[in-house]
Structure formats: C-alpha cells, structure tokens
C-alpha cells in the first residue's frame, strides 16, 4: 500500500485493521478499525501526525520507505493511547533524529507506557505552534476526548484539523475520504457511543470551538477524513444535545423464556402506543448496536431472570457498562421472573452510580407470566408512554 496524497504535501499513511474483533477488549468491532497517521511535508521540515497500533508499524515503515522519505523531523503525538502512540519507539529507531512534539500530559503517558526517553520530547502548550517552513502546525489542547492528555493539531495554511479520537469511526469500507453513507454515519455513532459518550459535554464544547476555527477538512485518527466538516459536526451536535427520543431500549436475558415473554409483550404494548422499542438479547446481541440506540433513548427497561438469588450476571454487566458510558436516559424499569426467592433488582439499582434515571414501577413475577402479570405490564407501558409524551 502507498501513502494517499490528500492535498499537496499532505498524505494519509495509516493502516486498516479489518480483522480486529474487539477494541480496548471491551467493544466489538464488526468491521475492524483503522489507525490513521498523516505525513506533512513543509518546505523545511516534515512531521508525522500520530502513528499506528504497534502490530501495524512495519506496514507504516514500508509506506514511508516506498515514498522515499529520508527524514522525519517531528512526530506529533496527539494522544498517548497505544493505538496512536504505540509505534513511536519503532519510528524513533528508524529516525533517530526525530523529536516527539506533544503536550506535558501525553509526554508523561508516553514515557511511562512506552519508555521513550525524556530528552526525545518538545513540549507544547495550548495555542503553541511549530513551523515546517511554508506550513505551520498549531496545537489545541482538548482534554477528555478521549483521555485527559488529548490535543488537536491544526495545519493553519491548509485549514486541516487533526482531531485524533474525536469524530472517529470504526469504519474500514472505501478509501480515505468519507463516503457520507448511512453505513458511515452508523459506524460514527457506534464509535461515539463507545468512546465519546462518557465525555459528552466536552465533545459538545469542542464542536463549538471547531465551528469557530472553521476548518476545511477534519482528519480523525480512526475512520475516514471529512471534507465536509459540517456533516460530522451536525451529527455530534445532535448526539451530544440534551434531547432524547421517544424510544425505549430493552436489553433482556431469559433462560427459559418467562422474562422473554414479558419483554416481548411489553414491546408490543409500547409499540401500539407509538413508542419505538429496541428489544435486545443480552446473550446474542452485539453490544455496539445496543449502545447506538442508547445514545438518544429516553428509557431503558432491563429484562432479567433470577439466578442464584440475584439478577442474571449478563444484565449486571450491561447495567455497569451503560452506567459508565453515561447515556442520557431519563427513566428506567426492571422486569423479570424468579422461582422462589432472592433479590432481582438491588444489584442492578446499585450499578447506577453515575447516571440517575428516574425509577418507574418494576414488574417482577413468579414463574411464567399470566393474567395479572400482563396487567402490570400494561400499566408499565401506560406509564412509559405518558412520560414519553414530552419526547414524541
Ligand atoms: C441456574 C438457575 C438458578 C436459579 N436460581 C434461582 C434463585 O436463586 N432464586 C429464584 O427465585 N429462582 C432461581 N431460579 C429460577 C428462575 O429464576 C425461574 O425459573 C425464572 O422463572 C426463570 O425465568 P426465565 O424463564 O426468564 O429464565 C434459577 C434458575 C436457574 C436455571
Ligand atoms: Fe483513545
Ligand atoms: Fe484511538
């Protein structure tokens, strides 16, 4: 593979990783991901902006060699997570005169995580810039999209903004430029839910700032490059807003179908009332799909059956994960079935330490649902539909 020229003397040289199954051992990657690296050649100096995940470093070095790049003066590290900084040691071995340009927090992480020597860094602060001759790189600190260390790099003359993890997508279809397809938008939303949703207010703040900068092109470190920045900015404005939709997510787990019958019945009743429901099997489902709908759902109903005196562990895991990812959920309920005794709800309630959705009536029944149990589900459906009138 060759470098792709995006504009005169600006190249994309990242790698696709279509076979990678999980990200951060946490989130499924149905089509893998990309690690974007960019090479900028000025009249006097050259810079590589972010690197790749270490297993892909040989491919990056091959590209650099094929392009006859003899010298890299600066390696810009926007964020120390190893999917972008992990190849810095190998690059410094190949280009021993290169200096790593970054902020104090990235440096601290790169030194401790990758053992790069302290004297290999040039430290920049918010608003600082370095000159490549006819091109200038300006640095904009952007903590918390993704880690506290993250920054953006702005190529002033071309108005190219390198936003690192912000605006990423685990999208490997097509070439370097965004195809603006529904599939891309879905993939960008999946990425947002998994990586950026916990930092929603920061993402919103930076979107505002980026609109003021008014770049011509946005270049994230995963997925395609946007030559229409307003496309991804508009999507983020929607996702990061306080608005929720007339939608219920209903993750459920059921060993012998009692809870499943309840969840399906409740889904039918809610849909009859015009509420969108995403019924989602905790065992079979791809977590990313649940999270996409969690971005703007107003309510979550957890369907769970009793195992060993408590809730089935897969519902506990889902509750823990959702709490950590901080969706905008306003309401929640728990429905489920038990056989003889225990507590189905306490462990799940205790998971909500960060998000504070308002509790609606629970429907916990003994055995397989029958007449009166369905009446309780009817009442819950009514309560949800009433609460959702504000979002319809
Ligand atoms: C492995 C296992 C452990 C269970 N442990 C309990 C328990 O501790 N307390 C209880 O009330 N019921 C327990 N049950 C019974 C189920 O909660 C009950 O059958 C329930 O109706 C199952 O709902 P489901 O069909 O949605 O899976 C257990 C069932 C299984 C299979
Ligand atoms: Fe990251
Ligand atoms: Fe990343």
For the stretch 90-124, pLDDT in tens is: 999 999 999 999 999 999 999 999 999 999 999 99
- pTM beyond 0.75: yes
- Please state, as a whole number, how many other Cβ atoms lie within 10 Å of the Cβ of residue 148: 13
Question: 293 C-alpha to center of ligand 1: Å?
Answer: 29
Cα dihedral across residues 142, 147, 149, 151: positive or negative: negative
Query: Ligand 1 pocket test: which of 251, 266, 302, 305 has the largest number of ligand atoms within 8 Å of its C-beta?
Result: 305
Question: 314 C-alpha to center of ligand 1: Å?
Answer: 14
How far apart (Å, rounded) are the C-alpha atoms in residues 210 and 206?
A: 6
Q: How confident is the model at residue 1 (pLDDT cuts 50, 70, 90)?
A: confident
Domain boundaries, the chain: 4-240, 245-387
| CATH 3.40.50.360, domain 245-387, yes or no | yes
Report residues whose beta carbon is within 6 angstroms of any ligand 1 atom.
254-259, 305-309, 337-342, 367
For the stretch 217-273, pLDDT in tens is: 999 999 999 999 999 999 999 999 999 999 999 999 999 999 999 999 999 999 999
Query: Ligand 1 pocket test: which of 283, 310, 337, 338 has the largest number of ligand atoms within 8 Å of its C-beta?
Result: 338
- Please state, as a whole number, how many other Cβ atoms lie within 10 Å of the Cβ of residue 84: 27
How many Cα neighbours within 13 Å face the side chain of 47? 27
How far apart (Å, rounded) are the C-alpha atoms in residues 94 and 337?
A: 61
- Phi, psi (5° rounding) for residue 251? -75, 135
For the stretch 304-328, pLDDT in tens is: 999 999 999 999 999 999 999 999 9
Strand-strand pairing, 15-17 and 10-12: unpaired
Whether 392 has a pLDDT exceeding 90, the answer reads: no
Question: 347 C-alpha to center of ligand 1: Å?
Answer: 16
Q: Counting ligands in written order, which one lies closest to the CA of residue 146?
A: 2
For ligand 1, atom 25, the nearest C-alpha belongs to 256
For the stretch 358-383, pLDDT in tens is: 999 999 999 999 999 999 999 999 99
Class level of CATH domain 4-240: alpha beta
Nearest to 357 by CA among 282, 297, 283: 297
Question: 98 C-alpha to center of ligand 2: Å?
Answer: 23
Cα dihedral across residues 179, 153, 101, 199: positive or negative: negative
Which ligand 1 atom lies nearest to the CA of residue 257?
25
How far apart (Å, rounded) are the C-alpha atoms in residues 153 and 145?
A: 13
For ligand 1, atom 12, the nearest C-alpha belongs to 339
């Amino acid at each position: 593979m060759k470098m792709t020229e995006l504009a005169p003397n600006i190249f994309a040289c990242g790698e696709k990783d279509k076979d990678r199954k999980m990200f951060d051992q946490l989130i499924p990657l149905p089509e893998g991901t990309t690690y974007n690296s960019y090479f900028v050649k000025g009249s006097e100096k050259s810079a590589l902006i972010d690197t790749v995940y270490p297993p892909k470093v040989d491919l990056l070095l091959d590209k650099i060699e094929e392009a006859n790049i003899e010298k890299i003066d600066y390696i810009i590290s926007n964020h120390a997570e190893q999917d972008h900084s992990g190849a810095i040691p190998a690059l410094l071995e190949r280009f021993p005169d290169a200096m790593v340009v970054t902020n104090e927090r990235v440096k601290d992480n790169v030194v401790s995580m990758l053992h790069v020597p302290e004297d290999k860094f040039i430290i920049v602060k918010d608003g600082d810039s370095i000159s490549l001759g006819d091109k200038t790189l300006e640095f904009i600190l952007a903590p918390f999209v993704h880690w506290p260390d993250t920054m953006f790099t702005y190529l002033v003359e071309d108005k190219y903004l390198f936003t690192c993890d912000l605006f990423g997508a685990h999208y490997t279809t097509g070439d370097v430029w965004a195809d603006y397809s529904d599939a891309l938008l879905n993939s960008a939303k999946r990425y947002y839910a998994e990586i950026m949703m916990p930092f929603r207010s920061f993402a919103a703040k930076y979107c505002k700032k980026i609109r003021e900068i008014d770049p011509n092109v946005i270049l994230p470190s995963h997925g395609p490059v946007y030559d229409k920045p307003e496309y991804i900015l508009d999507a983020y404005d929607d996702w990061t807003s306080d608005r929720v939709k007339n939608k219920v997510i209903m993750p459920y787990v059921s060993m012998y179908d009692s809870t499943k019958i309840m969840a399906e019945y409740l889904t039918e009743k809610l849909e009859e009332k015009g509420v969108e429901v995403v019924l989602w099997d905790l065992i079979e489902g791809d977590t990313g799909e649940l999270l996409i709908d969690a971005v703007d759902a107003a309510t979550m109903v957890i369907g769970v059956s009793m195992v060993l005196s408590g809730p089935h562990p897969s519902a506990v895991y889902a509750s823990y994960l959702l709490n950590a990812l901080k969706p905008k959920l306003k309401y929640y309920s728990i429905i489920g079935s038990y056989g003889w005794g225990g507590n189905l709800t306490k462990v799940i309630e205790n998971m909500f330490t960060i998000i504070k959705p308002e509790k609606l009536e629970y429907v916990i029944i003994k055995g397989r649902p029958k007449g009166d149990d369905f009446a309780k589900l009817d009442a819950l459906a009514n309560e949800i539909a009433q609460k959702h009138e504000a979002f319809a």
